[in-house]
Chain A
Amino acid sequence: MGFVVAWIMLAVLWLGLSGFTDPVHLVFGAVSVTLVSALSHRHLTGGGSVGRGMARLLRLALYMPWLLWQIAAANLDVMLRIFGVREIDPCVVRFKPDLESDFGRVTLANSITLTPGTVTVDITDDGEYIIHALTREAADAVLTRVMEAKARSVEGGSDA
């Protein structure tokens, strides 16, 4: 089942990137797509159930607009600080989010890094996040755990 999903995804990608629709190229494309998905479909689809992967992608798509809005708003703040309108006051904070899967942890870590003002420096073995923040306000925003709650709603249960 993972093979079929990987095949369809790769076929769409191949068509989009090549733009060829004549029979000769389509055959070449089909052969290479089949080869690649046979070799690597376990890595491409994570080996989990297909329905769960699809549900996660859907929830991730719903999460994106909120994240984009956060990125834009926080970028403006960092730009003001770059040009000296506001002061910077860097600090390092640690907190331990309550997430069940690697997928959720990656989503949260990348979201924190994407949002200007905070970078995920490290995740320790017992799941503690070390965050470098440009300002106290940015650090406090992470510690309110609004983003963590969003990441938890994206992950939808632990990894199989």
Chain B
Amino acid sequence: MTVLEIIATVVIALGALVMLAGAAGVVRFPDFYSRLHAAGKADTLGQGLILLGLAIPIGLSLISFKIALIILFIFIFNPTATHALARGAWTLGLKPWEKHQGEPRTDDEDDDHGEEDHA
């Protein structure tokens, strides 16, 4: 393995770890909005790192130019999609979960609905 390949492997592994954390967050967080945080943001960074890792051993070429474009588009579209989902839920009147409201997950119906939206 060359030095570049080792660096690329580390970057890709880091990206996979971030994606794993995002997936765990979707399961662990209490409501639709907080799950959006895990799904939307971890994916942006995780995908970015994995794609960067793929581009590193190639060096400057047409392929890495295309990968750079994909990373750029992910950084523009992912937050936009996250915002669209959050806004949709907000407009429909879904109330965010709060720590001090007595019983946590009171609105299970809304919760399940949120998951469907996200999938």
Which residues from chain A sit less than 8 Å from chain B, CB to CB? 16-17, 19, 71-72, 75, 78-79, 82-84, 87-92, 109-110, 113-117, 119-122, 130, 132, 134
Contact = CB atoms under 8 A, between A and B. Distances in A.
Nearest to A81: B25
B42 interface: yes
Given A16-B66, A78-B42, A134-B37, A90 B18 contact: no
A116 B37 contact: yes
B53 interface: no
A82 B91 CA distance: 27
A91 B34 CA distance: 10
> What are the 4 tightest A-B residue pairs by CB atom distance, in nearest-first order?
A113-B79, A82-B25, A116-B41, A79-B21
Contacts of B65: 16
B91 A122 contact: yes
A122 B98 contact: no
B24 A90 contact: no
Q: Pick the most buried of B33, B41, B91, B99: most chain A CB atoms within 10 A of its CB.
A: B41
Contact of A90 (B22, B80, B98): B98
Categorize the interface residue count of chain B.
35 or more
Given A82-B24, A119-B83, A122-B91, A90 B42 contact: no
Contacts of B66: 16-17
B28 interface: yes
A119 B25 contact: no
A83 to B, nearest CB: 7
A90 B86 contact: no
Contacts, number: 98
Interface of B: 18, 21-22, 24-25, 28-31, 33-34, 36-38, 40-42, 44-45, 62, 65-66, 69, 75-76, 78-80, 82-83, 86-87, 90-91, 96-99
Given A110-B76, A110-B79, A119-B37, 17 more contacts: A16-B66, A16-B69, A75-B18, A75-B42, A79-B18, A82-B21, A89-B99, A90-B31, A90-B96, A91-B96, A113-B41, A114-B78, A114-B79, A115-B41, A121-B33, A132-B86, A134-B37
Contact of A122 (B28, B37, B87): B87
